[in-house]
Structure 1
Amino acid sequence: MALIERFRAQKTCTTCPYCGVGCGVAATHKRGVNEEISVEGDAQHPANLGRLCVKGSALAETLGERGRLLRPRLHGREHDWDSAMDYMARKFARTIAEHGPDSVAFYLSGQLLTEDYYVANKLMKGFIGSGNVDTNSRLCMSSAVAAYKRSLGADAVPCCYEDLEEADLVVLVGSNAAWTHPILFQRMQAAQTKLVVIDPRASATSEMADLHLPITPGSDGALFNGLLRFLSEENALDREFIANHTEHFEETLQTAGEWTPEKTAERCGVAVADLQAFFTLFARSERTVSFYSQGINQSSSGTDKNNAIINCHLATGRIGKPGSGPFSITGQPNAMGGREVGGLANMLAAHMNFEAEEIDRVGRFWRAGNMAQGPGLKAVDLFRAVERGEIKAIWIMATNPAVSMPDAARIGRALEKCPLVVVSDCVADTDTARCADLLLPATTWGEKNGTVTNSERRISRQRRFLAPPGEARHDWQIICDLAQRLGYGEQFDYRHPAEIFREHAALSGFENQPGTPGQRAFDISALADISEREYDQLQPVQWPVNNANPGGSRRLFADGRFFTDSGRAQFLPVEPLAPQQQRSGDYPLWLNSGRMRDQWHTMTRTGRARKLLDHSEMPQVQIHPTDARDCAIDDGQLVELASARGRLRGRAQITAAQKQGELFAPIHWSESLAGDSRVSALAEPAIDPHSGQPEFKQVAVRLRPLSVHSYLCLICPSETATRFQSLLPEIESLVHWYRVPCDGGYRYELALSEPPDCRPLAQQLLEGIGEPLRWQQLQLPADQRWLVYTDALQLLLFSATDWRQLPDRHALEQWLTDPLPDNPALLLQKITPAAQMVCSCMQVSRDQIETAIAEGTDSVEALGEQLGCGTNCGSCKPEIASILRAQARSVA
């Protein structure tokens, strides 16, 4: 029986660790001689009903110990946990004693579970006595938080996912949901909802929309002011709702009154007719959802833009009703959970603020003797304080600010100066980890156990099905260990995350009576007494979950009552502002940034799955054909972007999807994955005055082509790759590089300004390998090729003067794990260049799709039946449709 149990497959229902949709995942773990892990969508989870995008479908391929941080490291050397934590506690205690509690800080992440977040905030704000806890959610969602609080009285998303299906119209503002939140986009498409996309660039989402408004970057506030004026003039207002449930409408309408359709169209850079079409559609669609994301939030006036959208919903009474509402979609899996427990520096736990009454309330509940008396530093200001030497010890958890923060190079320099930098992460090598004095190994998805809250306020369980590798520990355990060593053991004596969750739920209901002045929106007090078994079995539920709503609540504000002092929603007059980062003669182009379809954040997880790089494996810059011509840039050529803050290098992708004068680059690459690849290094630290959120979507840059003589492709085992990466700074002719993981090792792609000298490089790389090395060389007029092997492949190296002539990498990468052919020299022969994969799930390339179209296949569905593309997660369907249209235009 024991043997049968050992080999039996175990199925665990958990949640995806990527975007804010919060999809349910069913992970099957088969133990035995050959351990197997597979994932599929959880058909019972209400967020996704069994669907998964390509990233979620590939979760099993991101697991394993390669690249993991497995033991604590102090100044680069491995240590045991006790000595590491003793060192950390001594440093924190001494810093606080000598410089006060505001000399230390925590910087957290939406990748943490709610229980991790809760104890971190409790320790810093309740016992150390500082408000200096902020989170990378500051970079994506804080303007939405500020706007909801100003208008609705609480950080309370009014909508649910069903509203996207029940709506007559969904307006996607600053959102490429087909790539960033694909499961929700598929739900919209399945419901055949009318879609309007408001985005400066054409995207996979706009390809599938009924109307696309490619507005001038930063003009969203003007657009929605114009809409508010139009609604008034067309008698499309809900006067009864305005009179009974809102305040400050007349002054808000007066501010919007100057935005005639003509003025609005001019400011937004769109045709008056297209603008009128959108306004009319909004006015006539009784059920309307505005679905908005980083294109709105990541702005120096993002809070006002959010409020301009909310104003239009309040004016039409389209809130708290099925198929209606202003819906801010979060970027990370637990951005909302972090907000619930005070993850932002200007908040206390359970949606409380730094008012005297609320400080007292939280302090009494925690039995905390040293409550922070005011807000801490928000992200940009926090790292400025690190740079100035005011913060002398910082603990960074599960995030990579040396890549994600604006003016990223400056963040790295600030951390290098800081007396103590602690980084807890699951990954050993990130740009931020390279700045750390102390690295602490943390668990990750599949090993963690706790809760997350998605974009519709739905709390779900993330369950463990794998043992932590090495000596990795849960974040909440590490935080509690520090708390105990600082002398707060009694208040941090948790043994299971269920204990933390119960306390969190109890605080949400503490002195929070429904229907009384000061009632807080966030309340899950009905879960405060659940047992550990009930916690383990907890099903997804939307808050509030209290005596009034024991089963949770799908949407808020159906009764027209809000969480403001008056109980009425607040209109906010909005004076549209231009982006702080303006174009100039030195920097004549605007750079926009965002996610690619198959990648997530800084690729510490998705970058481990080889197939997720098949669609786009390198840093790119998308350029309008006219701008490319003016700068003498060819498609595929290496280019450089420069701003007043930094530079970025990548390969040009010339596309009419970009407007002239505007560029786009993905956010995912870091200095540990590619050279000069951080988009954030170009951005000024310009912030919204209300939320503190940085402006990332409008960065002023200039563009130039780079001169490259040769391209080098190098495939090697993991141990050789480590040595090679350390040698990269010594290659004087290096123009650019990036790496791609493959089974058994890595592939490096280099661009050089001079011909490579391959044999000395190979000898330097392979020095010290004990077995006799066998060398084979093929010298051609335009390139050289080297194969070095023992019983297994040690190095494959190809150079060419044209990057398009480098070989199909997939065909070569397999030899890192497969036995070498009888004649290894065959690996040096000419191999067809690689094809771009459009469908990563089913490994269907653009060439295959174009061939099938040329042979008569004429629809996305027919291509799916023939090739399989688009039949798994569906994320590639917009691109397939675009290829179909392009082929049809070509034939015409």
Structure 2
Amino acid sequence: MNALADPGAVRTTCPYCGVGCGLLATPDAAGGAAIAGDAVHPANFGRLCSKGAALGETIGHETRLIEPMMRHGEGPLGPVSWDAALDRVADGLRSTLARHGPEAIAFYLSGQLLTEDYYAANKLAKGFLGTANVDTNSRLCMASSVAGHKRAFGSDTVPGSYEDLDAADLIVLVGSNAAWCHPVLFRRMAAARAARGTRIVVIDPRRTATADEADLVLPIAHGTDTDLFCGLLVHLADTGGIDAAYVAAHTQGLDAALAAARTRVPDITATARATGLAEADVARFFAWFRETARSVTCYSQGVNQSAHGTDKVNAILNCHLATGRIGRPGMGPFSLTGQPNAMGGREVGGLANQLAAHMGFSPPEVDRVRRFWDAPAMAASEGLKAVDMFAAIGRGEIKALWVMGTNPAVSLPRADAVRAALGRLDLFVLSENVRTNDTAACAPHVVLPAAAWGEKDGTVTNSERRISRMRPFLDRPAGVRPDWWALAQVARRLGFGAAFAWTRPADIFREHAALSGFENGGTRDFDISALAGLSDAAYETLEPVQWPLPAGGGATARLFAEGGFFTPDRRARLVVPATAAPPAGEAEHPFLLNTGRIRDQWHTMTRTGLSPRLSAHLTAPFVAVHPDDAAPLGLAEGDLATVATRHGRAVLEVRGDAGQPRGTLFAPIHWSAANASHGRVGALVHDARDPISGQPDSKATPATLAAYAAPYRGFILARTALAPPPGSWWARLPVAGGHAWRIAGGDGPDLWRDWARGQVGAAALAEFSDLSGGQYRAAAFDTNGRLSFALMIGPKGAVPAWDALKDLLAGDRVGEADRRLILSGRSGAGTMPSGPLVCACFGVARDAIAAAIRAGAHDAAAVGAALKAGTNCGSCLPEVRALIAETLQPA
């Protein structure tokens, strides 16, 4: 489908990862929309991942915040007018400024914001309130890349394009589970491998889905990436792999970097010993890199989220600079960005150590931005980065905070301490589009209803520096406003109206573009001044375009092939990484906890958690552990275990994973107090961080693992939301027609019986009780005979699978004869569950795939032909292949 196929389709951009896929949204008559890929968008050419394909399931108003809310004294939040809410925000900022100074004010922003929103927040804070305490959740994912780029290139520049993935002969993925986290790009890599023989190398302590299509997997020891790439630099120097002409013309620092690398890992043997890898595998990787001119190294959170992430980035960049493999087709280092507008936020100064238009806090740059904005109180020095910012809130040093579009009470390290800090603020403003999440539960004084995806109007920039339009295709609820508008209204109340007199997003974009070219003359990488004169009509129809795009020039797909770096002498710097010991467990906390994302969920699930399809693959918060580590602790697949650190604890479902390194654990970041009783993993993560970038280390927190006593297991189904009994373990997920809760705990069935009767009344329930055997089952039906509530609880293994009855919530009347079957765990048709969902794009469950395999579909292509599984984003293909091997294995 292309942009011309449906005249009612609106071209917009996906709100998930930094790939920046183009979408076609066709509104329906009921407030929803059909979503398809935009076949002419150069980021995805029509392909979508499972999350993008399910976007149409996430745009209802059931969870929306649709009017401003304000708290009076210690009372609860209550609805107020926009004028009252904005007056309260302006009065609070004015009072804080007068009593405590600008350093007592902070803004915490998000890569979910549009560039225009980001720009408005930074202009107000840094230019007019005088505070540089403006940071973003991008600090948690991309700050080390930013710092590494700036050390090497003099600028935060991603030098390549997605087309390089098509042209490369070698793609190296470092700390990146791209098959799950950037699946559209990974399918391009896999296509190049199939069509051109491109080799794929995966470097990761965990064996992830990405390794399924790799030619070489290097299960590197935690924290030793720098050693590996220092070893590669030494090998290149010793085997004639250095591009001496490029190095001499365009770089400096090779001799020092090489000497330090040689001291650290003098040869392949030393590199293998330092990284825990087989020497033959290291030699193979080094030879492939040396021999393959068209090489791209993609890296992501496994590199960035480290106490030494910036050094890891620079160790990678050193190898590309030393070989001149940068800025040419099929060559270069490539940072895979985590959020849809992490790049756009960096462009407008969204980090506490940046100013707008990729400028920093040197006196000339501060003066330049001050003059352009005519800013009366320009911040002159860097502000507090995210972790330090919330620590300062906890100490009472920051008194006023405005959080926009993010959920720090879940996502920040030591999230329990963050929750406590938020309660100390004199003014806590939250701009959100959902009524409830963990941060909204931390007693904000003002909550402003922000436009949601589908209603937003502006621009975002993806990982390859491509600016795309985010166009609205849904009407905003009457009480909802864009973030930039709320910021401008507060600025006007503070007396800064002339500088914030925008009437539409295009006004802000033009100002942003003009600043990028102001006194630039080619000295700064970010320049889109060619767009500063866009008319409103041209802004509406703006096609995806890469920067730099200076006035009078064309867009640039790649940079630095002929040097021209943005350092004072225009030469790149090869950096000497610091020497640091790899992370290790402690006597009291012998495991290392690694956190990250899963295939079908996003951040804290406020959007993806609305989709039944996306929630059916991995249905509860879990911890992955090697079977050899689980067995001595008495843990088996599906058990519950307590994961604890010095900062918090969670209770997670055990998943045995032979690809998990021994002595380590992996837990996903997505579950919050809104959808799980004990699943908040951010509360466990330590606050160790990179000393250069300030990015937290989310990959190596010392932890313990122990069995959690939960003899009773079961599930609840209900058409409306409810609260399971206090003290029980539960994980909530959406199902068609209502909600499901997986439950567990030590309470016997008699207590669950009493709770169930309290929910719907004993007379309304059909019940089965075997209290001596630990069993209780109940079901209730509405006046139309439809299932409205069901509870099943019993010893582990004695209760039907949770999805046995879920389809009945969306069904019609259940006949009297069939109601008895429900208590046995069968639907009215007598069918049994179809197993976990494997392919979220097409809703294909495990049992259906197994049946197709037994019927003759003996490879992934045949399964795809029969069921479509794996034919869209392909992120389920490793699971499909594993199921083929399991099903066809001889008894």
Classify the TM-score, shorter chain: over 0.9
SS at match of 1:481: helix
State the AA in 2 paired with 1:860: A
State the AA in 2 paired with 1:809: D
Partner of 1:4: none
State the AA in 2 paired with 1:37: A
SS at match of 1:696: coil
Q: What is the CA deviation profile of residues 554-575 of structure 1, one whole-angstrom value per residue up to 9, with x for unaligned ones?
A: 1111222111001100010123
CA distance in 1: counterparts of 2:789 and 2:599, whole angstroms = 31
Q: Does 1:291 align with 2:281?
A: no
CA distance in 2: counterparts of 1:673 and 1:576, whole angstroms = 41
Partner of 1:220: 225
Q: 1:341 to 1:810 in 2, by over 3 A?
A: farther
Partner of 2:655: 653
State the AA in 2 paired with 1:366: W
Partner of 2:863: 863
Partner of 2:890: 891
Q: Does 1:407 align with 2:400?
A: no
CA distance in 1: counterparts of 2:481 and 2:795, whole angstroms = 48
Q: 1:371 to 1:274 in 2, by over 3 A?
A: same
User: Which of 764, 768, 775 is matched with 1:774 structurally?
Assistant: 764
* TM-superposed deviation, 1:207: 1.1
SS at match of 1:10: coil
Summarize the alignment of residues 85-484 of structure 1 with structure 2, pairs less than 5 Å apart.
Answer: 85-192=86-193, 193-258=198-263, 259=265, 260-435=267-442, 436-484=444-492
SS at match of 1:357: helix
CA distance in 2: counterparts of 1:251 and 1:662, whole angstroms = 35
CA distance in 1: counterparts of 2:774 and 2:388, whole angstroms = 52
CA distance in 2: counterparts of 1:111 and 1:543, whole angstroms = 20
CA distance in 1: counterparts of 2:250 and 2:352, whole angstroms = 31
SS at match of 2:805: helix
Q: What is the CA deviation profile of residues 845-875 of structure 1, one whole-angstrom value per residue up to 9, with x for unaligned ones?
A: 2223233334442211111112221122222
CA distance in 2: counterparts of 1:714 and 1:654, whole angstroms = 26
State the AA in 2 paired with 1:799: I
* TM-superposed deviation, 1:35: 5.5
CA distance in 2: counterparts of 1:557 and 1:791, whole angstroms = 70
Partner of 1:632: 634
Partner of 1:574: 577
* TM-superposed deviation, 1:273: 0.6
Q: 1:434 to 1:9 in 2, by over 3 A?
A: farther
State the AA in 1 paired with 2:327: G
Partner of 1:5: none
CA distance in 1: counterparts of 2:211 and 2:871, whole angstroms = 21
Summarize the alignment of residues 512-551 of structure 1 with structure 2, pairs less than 5 Å apart.
Answer: 512-514=520-522, 519-547=523-551, 549-550=553-554
Q: 1:712 to 1:853 in 2, by over 3 A?
A: closer
State the AA in 2 paired with 1:699: T
CA distance in 2: counterparts of 1:288 and 1:177, whole angstroms = 17
Summarize the alignment of residues 581-600 of structure 1 with structure 2, pairs less than 5 Å apart.
Answer: 582-600=584-602
Q: 1:820 to 1:89 in 2, by over 3 A?
A: farther
Q: Does 1:795 align with 2:789?
A: yes
CA distance in 1: counterparts of 2:121 and 2:875, whole angstroms = 36
User: Which of 799, 802, 810 is matched with 1:805 structurally?
Assistant: 799
CA contact (8 A) 2:68 2:79 kept: yes
Partner of 2:644: 642
Q: What is the CA deviation profile of residues 188-227 of structure 1, one whole-angstrom value per residue up to 9, with x for unaligned ones?
A: 1111121000000101101110000001110000000000
Q: Does 1:59 align with 2:55?
A: yes
Partner of 1:485: 493
CA distance in 1: counterparts of 2:31 and 2:123, whole angstroms = 39
521-530 vs 823-832, greater mean Cα deviation: 823-832
CA contact (8 A) 1:174 1:296 kept: yes
TM-score by length of 1: 0.94
Q: What is the CA deviation profile of residues 774-819 of structure 1, one whole-angstrom value per residue up to 9, with x for unaligned ones?
A: 2221224442122233415442211121257234536335425644
CA distance in 2: counterparts of 1:810 and 1:142, whole angstroms = 45
CA contact (8 A) 1:805 1:833 kept: no
SS at match of 2:742: strand
Partner of 1:72: 68
Partner of 2:710: 708
CA distance in 2: counterparts of 1:57 and 1:695, whole angstroms = 32
How many residues align? The count is: 863
CA distance in 2: counterparts of 1:170 and 1:387, whole angstroms = 44
Q: 1:323 to 1:746 in 2, by over 3 A?
A: same
CA distance in 1: counterparts of 2:876 and 2:552, whole angstroms = 43
SS at match of 1:848: helix
CA contact (8 A) 2:837 2:845 kept: yes
User: Which of 740, 745, 748 is matched with 1:747 structurally?
Assistant: 740
Structure 1 segments unaligned to the other structure (5+ residues) = 1-7
Q: 1:78 to 1:553 in 2, by over 3 A?
A: same
Q: What is the CA deviation profile of residues 537-562 of structure 1, one whole-angstrom value per residue up to 9, with x for unaligned ones?
A: 00000001113533x11111122211
Q: Percent identity?
A: 48
SS at match of 2:173: strand
User: Which of 686, 689, 696 is matched with 1:687 structurally?
Assistant: 689
CA distance in 2: counterparts of 1:575 and 1:133, whole angstroms = 28
CA distance in 2: counterparts of 1:881 and 1:225, whole angstroms = 36
* TM-superposed deviation, 1:878: 2.3
CA distance in 2: counterparts of 1:171 and 1:110, whole angstroms = 26
* TM-superposed deviation, 1:473: 1.1
Partner of 1:840: 840
Q: 1:420 to 1:887 in 2, by over 3 A?
A: same
CA distance in 2: counterparts of 1:762 and 1:659, whole angstroms = 43
Partner of 1:612: 614
CA distance in 1: counterparts of 2:10 and 2:763, whole angstroms = 47
SS at match of 1:482: helix
CA distance in 1: counterparts of 2:883 and 2:89, whole angstroms = 55
799-808 vs 138-147, greater mean Cα deviation: 799-808
Partner of 1:564: 567
Q: 1:13 to 1:87 in 2, by over 3 A?
A: same
Q: 1:715 to 1:887 in 2, by over 3 A?
A: closer
Q: What is the CA deviation profile of residues 314-372 of structure 1, one whole-angstrom value per residue up to 9, with x for unaligned ones?
A: 11110111100111110000000000000000000000111111111111111111101
* TM-superposed deviation, 1:108: 0.1
Q: 1:279 to 1:159 in 2, by over 3 A?
A: same
* TM-superposed deviation, 1:644: 1.0
Q: 1:709 to 1:319 in 2, by over 3 A?
A: same
792-801 vs 313-322, greater mean Cα deviation: 792-801
CA distance in 2: counterparts of 1:598 and 1:311, whole angstroms = 35
Q: 1:390 to 1:36 in 2, by over 3 A?
A: closer
Q: What is the CA deviation profile of residues 493-543 of structure 1, one whole-angstrom value per residue up to 9, with x for unaligned ones?
A: 1110000000000000000112xxxx0000000000001110000000000
SS at match of 1:779: strand
State the AA in 1 paired with 2:122: N
Q: 1:548 to 1:150 in 2, by over 3 A?
A: farther
